[in-house]
Structure 1
Amino acid sequence: MSSPTVPNEASPVTRPTGTSKLSWGVTLAIVGTFLFALKSIFIKLAFAAGADATLLLTLRMLMALPFYVAVFATLMRRRNNSLPNSVPSDQAPKSGLPIPIMVRALSLGFLGYYLASYLDLSGLQYISAQLERLTLFTYPAMVAALAWMFLGETLNRRILAAIGLSYAGVWLMYGQESQFTTDGNTAWGVFLVFAAALSYSFYVLFAKPVMQQIGSREFTSLAMIGSTAFALIHFFWFRSASDLFAVQPVVYAYGLILAFVCTVIPSFMINEAILTIGATRTTVIGSVGPVLTMLLAILILHEPSSWQHFAGMGIAIVGVSLVAKTR
């Protein structure tokens, strides 16, 4: 899943100004949204090639791990180099970050990148990429409800309408898709993806204050490292190391694409877009992600679709957009 970002530091990319700045930010948001939309498609292709949720998640995390370790090491080196010269070396913190905060970031990887991703992958084994993407897309409505329940934030009429529209759209698409399948597992698949969205919503809720303390890139790197550890524990608890090599070569290619093309690269592009054109514009552009996934699923995977699918998608997007406007 994609990570929430709280831009709090200058990006290493030199951003243009004026009209070109807007065009650059919009381009980043569009391309990043498109790459995120490809995720469900490549997961489905990997399943067709013989992979399962446990194996695919492990491959994806292992392939992305060296990158995040390198990013975190670079960020820590910059922090240490920025320490005042007056601080004695034996008193300077080696990591530049408080240990309790690092532990929290590593632990939150369980919710955001391990549990949510595993449930999402598992759900995709039973439902279409279209329904999966839309169900997962409703997580902002969950975040709003959870913030009201646990943080005492206001739950006004607009948010209530947004939540209602979001899930009305999912229900409309679910009702239509259940007619296309005969195995009776559509409800189970939706439940798994719904649980994935709930796990990710808790992650977003608890991640923001940590990111504000240590920085979004530091937090994301630590969360990814922690989630990789959880994924490996899961894999070796149920499987053997030989299973990592008992798949078709194309599965490794799909895992690499999921790790970098559909996760690492778009996460940085969306982060840069937020810094350049703001969170609101980036959110509006990102709302077309489910539509892109739907079109790609129809064209590449040849998934069945109907006007109810498009209507459900449109209703849910309107609902999520209302949530975005209130936050």
Structure 2
Amino acid sequence: MAGMTNATPPALPGTRAAYLGGLAIAIGGAVLFSTKAIVAKLLYRYQLDAVTVIAFRMLFSLPVFAAIALWKMRSEPPLARADAWRLLGLGLVGYYLSSFLDFLGLQFITVGLERLILFLTPTFVLLASALWLKQHIGRRQWLALLTAYGGIVLVFFHDLQGGGSNVVLGSLLVLGSALAYAVYLLASGEMVKRLGALRLVSYAMCVSSAACIGQFFLLRPASMLVQPLEVYGLSLVNGILCTVMPVFMTMVAVQRIGAGAASQAGMIGPVSTLFLGAAVLSEPITSWQLAGTALVLAGIYLLSNLKGQVK
């Protein structure tokens, strides 16, 4: 979601069909990434906790990211020591802390509310840029922010009626997840330009995987690795279809249609999660949720169109 712009999508093959193909890849990546919340909820039905769920997720995704990291280590110059320390921090904050808080929060709130809160990450990036980088926020941007946050408040108070204090706790945890990922986006901007997205993501994901798996062995007995076959199947889906594939699909989409169009295509994420939650988890869809979702999407859409105009 970071780096939204109004720039015209690259016309790499220069055809409408190629653009539509890139758009389809971006939408597919957004849907798959959003589906991790559904898979996590299904895993919680097997009496697993967030520590175990995220460890299994990383166990299945780590081999792919480790293979890419090794390839990059052999084909590119070694990292400077300062960059290695920065990558360590980025991996711990952007993927370990953010993912762990997200999975913790999912134990207490609906997947629809979780996805909407996470979707506010670009607004946190904008607010942080204004506070620390002294970037100006115009009236239209404030309108976009208020619209998006108004949608969250609407869904939050709707869900609060049924979940009480658990909804508050879960929302705060997922909010922390979104803030952690916003910090990652802000801190990684300069490194992406120097190292490339593929190298940075693969290294950071290896750091995150080590932290998640190490945390499991520190806090849980190794015997918990023995689970029903369904847990392994769902964890494989979580690690490959909901983690590895969306990362690469988003990269391909950005190359084909540009970051702005790819980011806007990602707006399908909260909508797909809402309806998947109803279809798979039997979570009800109410008019309040639809209205809140519409407000969040409208706010992010306005922000994505305006961000490229900021001087």
State whether TM-score is above 0.5. yes
Extract structure 1 runs of 4+ deviating beyond 4 A. Answer: 3-6
Distance in 1, Cα, partners of 2:50 & 2:286: 28
Question: What TM-score, normalized by structure 2, do the two folds share?
Answer: 0.91
Distance in 1, Cα, partners of 2:284 & 2:17: 40
The partner residue of 1:67 within 64, 68, 74 is 64
Distance in 2, Cα, partners of 1:239 & 1:312: 38
Structure 1: tracts of 5 or more residues without a match: 7-14, 80-94
Q: Give the equivalent residue in structure 2 for 1:310.
A: 290
Query: Which amino acid is the alignment partner of residue 262 of structure 1?
Result: C
Distance in 1, Cα, partners of 2:131 & 2:3: 23
Distance in 1, Cα, partners of 2:263 & 2:146: 19
The partner residue of 1:136 within 118, 125, 130 is 118
Distance in 1, Cα, partners of 2:67 & 2:154: 44
Distance in 2, Cα, partners of 1:27 & 1:113: 25
Distance in 2, Cα, partners of 1:133 & 1:319: 15
CA offsets 1:278-311 (integer angstroms, 9 cap, x no match): 1121122111110010011011111022101000
Establish whether residue 266 from structure 1 lines up as the match of residue 246 from structure 2: yes
Distance in 1, Cα, partners of 2:274 & 2:213: 32
The partner residue of 1:284 within 264, 268, 273 is 264
SS in 1 for 2:165: coil
Query: Which amino acid is the alignment partner of residue 95 of structure 2?
Result: Y
The partner residue of 2:231 within 248, 251, 261 is 251
Between Structure 1 and Structure 2, how many residues are aligned? Answer: 300
1:80-119 mapped onto 2 (5 Å cutoff):
95-119=77-101
Distance in 1, Cα, partners of 2:139 & 2:3: 27
Q: Give the equivalent residue in structure 1 for 2:9.
A: none
SS in 1 for 2:285: coil
Q: Give the equivalent residue in structure 1 for 2:143.
A: 161
Query: Which amino acid is the alignment partner of residue 65 of structure 2?
Result: Y
CA RMSD of aligned residues (A): 1.8
User: Cα distance, 1:16 vs. partner?
Assistant: 4.2
1:36-47 mapped onto 2 (5 Å cutoff):
36-47=33-44
Name the % identity. 33
Establish whether residue 35 from structure 1 lines up as the match of residue 26 from structure 2: no
Query: Which amino acid is the alignment partner of residue 133 of structure 1?
Result: R
Distance in 2, Cα, partners of 1:4 & 1:46: 30
User: Cα distance, 1:253 vs. partner?
Assistant: 1.4
Structure 2: tracts of 5 or more residues without a match: 5-11
Query: Which amino acid is the alignment partner of residue 202 of structure 1?
Result: V
CA offsets 1:69-111 (integer angstroms, 9 cap, x no match): 11011123222xxxxxxxxxxxxxxx53223212211221111
Which of structures 1 and 2 has the larger relative contact order (alpha carbons within 8 angstroms, sep 6+)? 2
Change (3 A) 1:4 1:47: farther
CA offsets 1:16-46 (integer angstroms, 9 cap, x no match): 4412211221121121122122111111111
